[in-house]
Amino acid sequence: MSDISVSKKFNRLSETGVEQRKADLNIQELALDALQQLLGDKIKDVARMRGDITVTIGPDELLAAAEALRSNSALEFVHLSSITGVDYSRFDFPESWGDIRFGVVYNLFSYEKSANFALRVVVSEEEPVVPSLFHIWHGADWQEREVYDLLGVSFEGHPDLRRLFLYDDFEGEYPLRKDYPLKGKGERDKSWLPMQKQARVEESK
Amino acid sequence: MGVEAHLGNFLTSRLSVAVNWARKNSLWPMPFGTACCGIEFSAYLSNRYDAARFGAEALRFTPRQSDLMFVSGRVPNKLVPILVKTYEMMPEPKWVISQGTCACSGGMFDTYSVAQGVDQFLPVDVYIPGCPPRPEDLIKALQMIQDVVIKERLDEERDREAKFRNV
């Protein structure tokens, strides 16, 4: 996070823009410090991409970390911009992490400090369960439902965990998983059949 | 040929010719636009292409007042029951245009969630290929629908529906 890299990336920005970006990165460092104090060795990984920090933790630490990021008066990450589910089945992670299949990435934003932060939770295929952040950020409601619907990661403590995008009688499993065939398992050819049958029955009456 | 002199003030014809002539020149389209084809459909209705020349400019956003359905864009599985229900709400006689590659065959959306062609569950009269088709293609399709309409028998519509259902 040297000044050179900042100015390279933001060479088209005004001086104010560069200053804002520097402040953003400082807040990210603060947030990382806060998490390191709170969790210590339980942090699995700290990744830096062009100065932006992504902290990887396990599902057990998520609630504490989220609560700290939200309520810390120096950070105030009051906005959960997005939740993304990732299938990491084709990734290699360190042995010490255990058997990792899915990740859930939380992108946070602080209006007060104008800063971003990313938190990543990794879970195994056998137990794809992540604590729900609904009670910390209500915006997590539908986004967690989306991840649950398409990827099959379930969120413990979510008040209303049901499908969001797929229809209720969808027969397949979780179509965003990498091992799910792109063309589906025949559901796209069957979706219109109930309608057709129903119409035929009504006509024969 | 000199026949007119003996006819007087009347003209013999088939009823279907008169009725179909009225129908073909006053088609009321129902736009079922789900994707970018819907934008091309808007262009086709605008004054540059002027669908009013063919009497088909009176869009109705309720299926109960329309007799020509434009399926413009891809149809996901989730939308299939809604599309079929909308079609069934339309009063007879009714015609369907499948606009664009996605509506015709699924197109590039060869995935689990998109129906591979609306002709699986709707009796399509005219297919318009293209991604998306230009407004001129829509005008051509409308003229082809008019050809379909003018050739139709008055007792045929119910049969057509039943025939499609039993396939």
Tell which wins on pLDDT, B114 or A201: B114
pTM of the model: 0.79
DSSP B100: H
What is residue B85's predicted lDDT score, i.e. its pLDDT?
A: 87
Cβ separation of A191 and B77 shorter than 8 Å? Answer: yes
What is residue A19's predicted lDDT score, i.e. its pLDDT?
A: 84
Q: Does B92 touch chain A (CB under 8 A)?
A: no
Q: Which residue matches tokens 């829509």? A: B138
Q: Find the residue in A nearest to B77 (Cα).
A: A191
Residue among A182, A192, A200 minimizing CB distance to B112: A182
Token code pair at residue A97: 């992490």
What is residue B15's predicted lDDT score, i.e. its pLDDT?
A: 86
Tell me the backbone φ, ψ of residue A46, rounded to 5 degrees.
-125, 115
Q: State ipTM.
A: 0.71
A49-92 per-position pLDDT tens digit: 888 999 999 999 999 999 999 998 888 899 999 999 999 988 88
What is residue B139's predicted lDDT score, i.e. its pLDDT?
A: 93
What is residue A195's predicted lDDT score, i.e. its pLDDT?
A: 55
Q: Find the residue in A nearest to B111 (Cα).
A: A183
List chain A residues with CB under 8 Å of B88. Answer: 199
Q: Find the residue in B nearest to A187 (Cα).
A: B112
- Give chain A's mean pLDDT: 84
- Mutation for B interface: A165, A191, A196, A203, most B CBs within 10 A: A191
Token code pair at residue A69: 């990021």
List chain A residues with CB under 8 Å of B162. Answer: 203
What is residue A49's predicted lDDT score, i.e. its pLDDT?
A: 87
DSSP B90: S
Q: Which residue matches tokens 């990984």? A: A45
Cβ separation of A184 and B112 shorter than 8 Å? Answer: yes
Q: Find the residue in B nearest to A189 (Cα).
A: B115
**A168 Cβ partners below 8 Å, 6+ apart?**
none
What is residue A1's predicted lDDT score, i.e. its pLDDT?
A: 45
Cβ separation of A188 and B162 shorter than 8 Å? Answer: no
Mean pLDDT value across residues A19-42: 88
Percent of chain A with pLDDT strictly greater than 70: 85
Cβ separation of A203 and B114 shorter than 8 Å? Answer: no
Token code pair at residue A149: 């619907």
What is residue B142's predicted lDDT score, i.e. its pLDDT?
A: 93
Cβ separation of B112 and A200 shorter than 8 Å? Answer: no
Residue A79 parent element (H or E): strand A79-87
pLDDT tens for the 167 residues of chain B, in order: 576 677 777 777 888 888 899 999 999 999 998 999 999 999 998 889 988 889 888 888 899 999 999 999 999 888 888 888 898 889 888 899 999 999 999 889 988 888 888 888 888 999 999 999 999 999 999 999 999 898 888 776 666 666 676 54
Cβ separation of A175 and B80 shorter than 8 Å? Answer: no
- Mutation for A interface: B88, B112, B121, most A CBs within 10 A: B112
Given a contact cutoff of 8 angstroms between Cβ atoms, the answer to whether B103 and B75 are in contact is: yes
Given a contact cutoff of 8 angstroms between Cβ atoms, the answer to whether A109 and A143 are in contact is: no
A1-20 per-position pLDDT tens digit: 445 555 555 556 677 778 88
Residues on chain A bordering chain B, Cβ-to-Cβ distance under 8 angstroms: 165-167, 170, 172, 175, 180-185, 187-189, 191-192, 194-196, 199-200, 203
What is residue A11's predicted lDDT score, i.e. its pLDDT?
A: 58
Q: Find the residue in A nearest to B167 (Cα).
A: A196
